[in-house]
Chains A and B, each alone.
Chain A
Amino acid sequence: MLHIKCPHCGMRSQNEFSYGGDATVKRPALNKEVTDQEWDNFVYNRVSPRGKHLELWQHLSGCRQWIKVERDTATHEIFNTYKTNEEIA
């Protein structure tokens, strides 16, 4: 079980969180014309890398904040966690 540092609450066990997928995906702005390909990329297409991955988690059974977690998908090492509005180095 992972040990995730919630930037609001501190170290917590994985079972307090739920996973939210790739954090680098950006939703196209409302009312913006987008091509089928751009929309597909936003809704479906993910790179699923082996190694460093910036991902979203929600501290569901805690502060309920969505956070960003930089994690190695192969080793589960967590390098850093960020608030949603934080600059990512």
Chain B
Amino acid sequence: MTQSYRIETGGLINRNKKISFKFNGVTYFGYDGDTLASALLANGVHLVGRSFKYHRPRGFFGAGVDEPYAVVQLYRNGETEPNIKATEQELFEGLEASSVNCWPSVNFDIGAINNFLKIFLPAGFYYKTFMWPKSFWYKIYEPFIRKAAGLGVASTKHDKERYEHKYEYCDLLITGSGPAGLASAYSAAKNGAKVILAEDKPRYGGSLLTSDVNIGNQSGKDWADGIISELKEMPNVTVKNRSQVFGYYDHNMLVMSEKVSDHLPKTKKYHPNKRLWYIRAKEVLISSGSIERPIVFGNNDTPGVMLSSAAKEYLKVYGVLVGKKPLVFTNNDSGYETAIEFKKHGVDPIVLDSRSNPQSEIIDEAKNLGINIKNSYVVVAAQGYKKVKSADVATISEDKKTLGKIENIICDCICVSGFWTPTIHLASQSGNKTKFNEEIDAFVPGASKQNETTLGAANGVFTLEETLKTSFEKGKELSKKITEKDNEISIPNVVEKKYSKHDRFWCVPLPKGKSYKRFLDFQNDVAVSDVEIALREGYRSIEHVKRYTTLGMATDQGKTSNLNGLQLVSEIENKVVPSVGHTTFRPPYTPISIGAIVGREVGRHSKPTRKSPIHNWHEEYNAVFVDAGVWLRPRYYKRGNETLFEASKREAKNVRTNVGVCDVTTLGKIDVKGPDAAEFLNRVYTNAWLKLPVGKARYGVMLREDGIVMDDGTTTRISENHYHMTTTTAQAANVLSHLEYYLQLVWPELNVNVVSTTEQWAGAAIAGPKSRDLLQKLFPKTDVSNEGLPFMGYVEGDLFGVKARIFRISFSGELAYEVNVESDNGRFMWEKIIELGEEFQIQPYGTEALSTLRIEMGHVAGSELDGRTIPYDNALEGLLSKKKDFIGKRSLQREAFVAEDRQRIVGVIPLDKKTSIPEGSHLVKDANAPLPNKKLGHISASCWSVEHDNPFSLAILKDGKNMIGKKLFVMSPLKNKVIPVEIVSSHYVDPKGERVRS
């Protein structure tokens, strides 16, 4: 293929480097510096995709971020990425891309039948049609719509690319490197301010790259190049291209996506694919420019119809003619710039101007070049299916309501200019209430909301001279406030052509008897008739019209369609545009890759992994791990081909018969210190704490102020004013915050300090009838007899030279101890326990056995203390002090909390003593009752009782106190199980608690 639409010379591409690429399987050539769009256009390819709803052929409409059509599936380095704008994708050697939203091919697309059915697919079609019959939705409508709609296809493979996040602070963030951005960056930088200048395109300069102007006796582009190279040399300036500032959030936080590698065939080693910048700026200068808006006419979506500014950009930046017989359709002077560029390259354009007799310098220039100009002329409809072949044109009356006789002009492209829409997205996102500017028929930012200033075209200023002047001044003024420096900057002379007034004209009326589709939103296929239907059906708010028609809801966020939609609504409603208002602009300004948003927080990095100091030992002994909050804990230690069930039963049984050891390092630990520590604990816990002697531990329950149990654990008095508090693994952080809240805000008079010591101690629970014998071996010099170290006692010991804390506490219901040593000695402790425990048949046990042991003892844990239960529900009411006040006490008087039939913990056994009961199942009275079957309670935890060798569960059951001995049914619709059960006491093993005291 030859690049038959590439002009001989000119453009900013590197003609010395030819690049080959593939589109829909065909190999083409382009040059270094091309975009995929410009390279395809150079090869005369206009058909790139099919439209969303009607599958109409679509080409290129813009040349950058505003592109609504040319969305492609990209293949790069063995990966694929959907929904890439061909107008933004830079060409690299070996690039492959294909059309989306068409099947089997872009040239022959079966979905195009929708185009002939379009009469049946008006606005609100989906809402109205697919509502009934209801059963059709899941089986027929929804799968069909899913297949027919949608753009590209996401890769199902793991993304090998790396994405980074970066946090940055600066004095001035400047978004856009056009004249406004360059001038303000330059003067701010000269005042020593820390400046970030962001440009979404690969080349700096914005409109200066394509406009025919002169700044300080240089071309606009040369001036821009000079400023950029000077800025790049300055240490206080960061200049970033391929970087889109897409969101303006609270307190001047902006987010920018930098495409680091997308323009390369392959990401460089150690480089990310994209980098997301979180920028906190003292001042934000929005210099995002403006986007040309189309004029609406019949079949205005035909490939070959495009923005006149895009045609000019393809010519001036890429050296590409978008057509050889161009028709320029304009309501303002911008169209003439494009026409002049065509003429300069030997192509004869025809200009249709909707104005009757416009006069200006640039029009004179066009006339002098001999360009054919037709005033009071409009394009009525484009003709041609896959490419523009001609245009139906006509004269239009002064009031723009009546068309003259229709003529046909042969052309191969229609370059359309409906004047300019300032890009106010960022300003609007900052909270700025925009206002309508009658002069330019568009919205511009109103009074600043945050520290944002909008400059140049984005602010509705379309003359270069004024833009440069205000931008130099603003950059200087804002930086001076920050750096207190005031460098004089001389503002360069500007030579530019003066524009005459544009025509307030945006939509060509339909000729009699014709029903051409006139598209407003090109990506979502929303036509003028759709908006008319929405209004006819009673939708008035622009937000409702938007949702009903999907106008402006496509991935281009209505960059080229919003204002025309508003014009239409205001015209039909006979209102002025400002009173119709515009829909809310929300970040992101343009689609951002999910990978960039997620950053490094993928896979194992999506949350921290915390390991106990004994973790490696567990690994060496075949532990199977489980997530416990942020911790990894051994679930069971696999022997041979054991299953989880077999292993946990073995481990639990060994605790009941011999001795087991469990790593309890992950338990939350908080040091509570200070002369008022006892008083503080007395207020925090429900039970009494003032009389706990040194060297004793006590079990405590703490409530929230609403009476719900927050956490439980044992706290030990280490010395007079020093307590060691333990919390559950999951609640450790919340409990610390809770304690700090009361100490700092509610009772600041208490002299107490709290600090987390979770990581400082490694813990091992030694449990089982032989645990004392083992403990004696571990601490031969310490008296660990029942008298020397009674239940809930605490001593310090010497573990072969390592200082240890020994607590006689039990979670398993067996005689048990917990030994703590400094974390670094954790593995030493563990290995000693295993080594000396050998003669007592010690086995390590994991969380599964730990659960089994606590469930059959009826000890409550996280699954019962689930944020919905009060002490009574957990049979903990014995721990409620009647003598003193404590956090949450007053709430326990609430009517529901003292109800006679209040829910309460019970034990549950299947009648057949065989069927395991799924956790989360409901308890019901009658398994055959009609739905909804009244739930009496739920199964909170289940195990296989090793003591009784049958299944056993805990449940929170309504009126649990009076239900013991009753027969109910467990229902688990998820597992499709109905199990007849008997309600028993929650204390299934050693109900009197003799073992722990033995």
Contacts and interface: CB of A to CB of B under 8 A. Distances in A.
Given A43-B705, A43-B706, A84-B748, A76 B891 contact: no
B251 interface: yes
B19 interface: no
B740 interface: yes
Interface in B541-568: none
Given A3-B251, A18-B737, A30-B683, A66 B706 contact: no
B242 interface: no
A50 to B, nearest CB: 15
B280 interface: yes
B280 A31 contact: no
Contacts of B278: 1
A64 interface: yes
B276 to A, nearest CB: 13
A52 B253 CA distance: 22
B885 interface: yes
B731 interface: no
Contact of A84 (B280, B744, B885): B744
A39 interface: yes
A2 B748 contact: no
B835 to A, nearest CB: 41
A34 interface: yes
Interface string A1-43: 1110000000001000010100000011011001010010011
Nearest to B743: A66
B683 to A, nearest CB: 7
Interface in A37-89: 39, 42-44, 56, 58, 60, 64-66, 75-76, 78, 84-85
Nearest to A83: B744
A70 B893 CA distance: 34
Nearest to A23: B745
A58 B253 contact: no
A84 B743 CA distance: 11
Given A43-B705, A66-B745, A3 B891 contact: no
A75 B450 CA distance: 10
B250 A85 contact: no
A64 B745 CA distance: 13
> Which residue among A30, A34, A78 has the maximum number of chain B CB atoms within 10 Å of its CB?
A30
Given A30-B683, A76-B250, A85-B748, A64 B740 contact: yes
A58 B280 contact: no
B744 A2 contact: no
A39 B893 CA distance: 11
Nearest to A32: B885
B881 to A, nearest CB: 12
Nearest to B253: A1
B160 to A, nearest CB: 28
B705 A60 contact: no
Contacts of B167: 13
> Which residue among B167, B251, B252, B737 has the maximum number of chain A CB atoms within 10 Å of its CB?
B251
Contacts of A44: 706
B249 A1 contact: yes
A14 to B, nearest CB: 8
Interface string B739-766: 0110011101000000000000000000
Contacts of B705: 27, 42-43
Contacts of B251: 1-3, 76, 78
Contacts of A2: 250-251
Contact of A75 (B249, B431, B741): B431
A75 B253 CA distance: 14
A17 to B, nearest CB: 11
> Which residue among A3, A43, A75 has the maximum number of chain B CB atoms within 10 Å of its CB?
A43
Contacts of A1: 249-251, 253, 278
Nearest to B741: A66
B271 interface: no
Given A2-B250, A3-B252, A43-B706, A66 B744 contact: yes
B748 A58 contact: no
Nearest to A33: B890
Interface in B873-897: 884-885, 890-891, 893
A60 B890 CA distance: 29
A47 B740 CA distance: 25
How many of chain B's residues touch chain A, expressed as a range? 20 to 34
Nearest to A74: B431
B890 A34 contact: yes
Given A31-B885, A76-B251, A39 B891 contact: yes
Given A1-B253, A3-B280, A13-B280, A58 B890 contact: no
Interface string B675-686: 000000001000
A11 to B, nearest CB: 9
Given A39-B891, A75-B431, A65 B252 contact: no
B253 A3 contact: yes
Given A1-B251, A2-B251, A60 B891 contact: no
Nearest to A44: B706
A70 B746 CA distance: 19
A2 B450 CA distance: 12
Contacts of A64: 740
A84 B253 contact: no
A43 B250 contact: no
A75 B249 CA distance: 11
Contacts of A36: 893
Contacts of A75: 431, 449
A1 B251 CA distance: 7
A60 B431 CA distance: 29
> Which residue among B249, B706, B745 has the maximum number of chain A CB atoms within 10 Å of its CB?
B745
A65 B744 contact: yes
A17 B253 CA distance: 16
A76 B249 CA distance: 11
A78 B744 CA distance: 22
Interface string B135-162: 0000000000000000000000000000
Interface in B376-435: 431
Contacts of B885: 30-31
A55 B316 CA distance: 57
A55 to B, nearest CB: 12
Contacts of B249: 1
A36 B895 CA distance: 10
Given A30-B683, A56-B745, A43 B891 contact: yes
Interface in B348-377: none
Nearest to B736: A64
Contacts of B253: 1, 3, 13
Nearest to B278: A1
A2 B249 CA distance: 8
B891 A84 contact: no
Nearest to B704: A43
Given A3-B280, A31-B885, A43-B891, A58 B741 contact: yes
A2 B744 CA distance: 23
A23 to B, nearest CB: 8
A78 B885 CA distance: 37
Contacts of B252: 3
A74 B748 CA distance: 32
Nearest to A58: B737
Contacts of A84: 744-745, 748
A31 B706 CA distance: 16
A66 B250 contact: no
The 8 closest A-B pairs by CB, nearest first: A3-B251, A30-B885, A76-B250, A66-B744, A31-B885, A1-B253, A39-B890, A27-B746
23 contacts: A1-B251, A2-B251, A3-B250, A3-B251, A3-B253, A13-B253, A27-B705, A30-B885, A31-B884, A36-B893, A39-B891, A43-B705, A56-B745, A64-B740, A65-B744, A66-B740, A66-B745, A75-B431, A75-B449, A76-B251, A78-B251, A84-B745, A85-B748
Given A3-B250, A27-B705, 15 more contacts: A1-B249, A1-B253, A2-B250, A3-B251, A3-B252, A36-B893, A39-B891, A43-B705, A43-B706, A56-B745, A58-B741, A66-B740, A66-B741, A84-B744, A84-B748
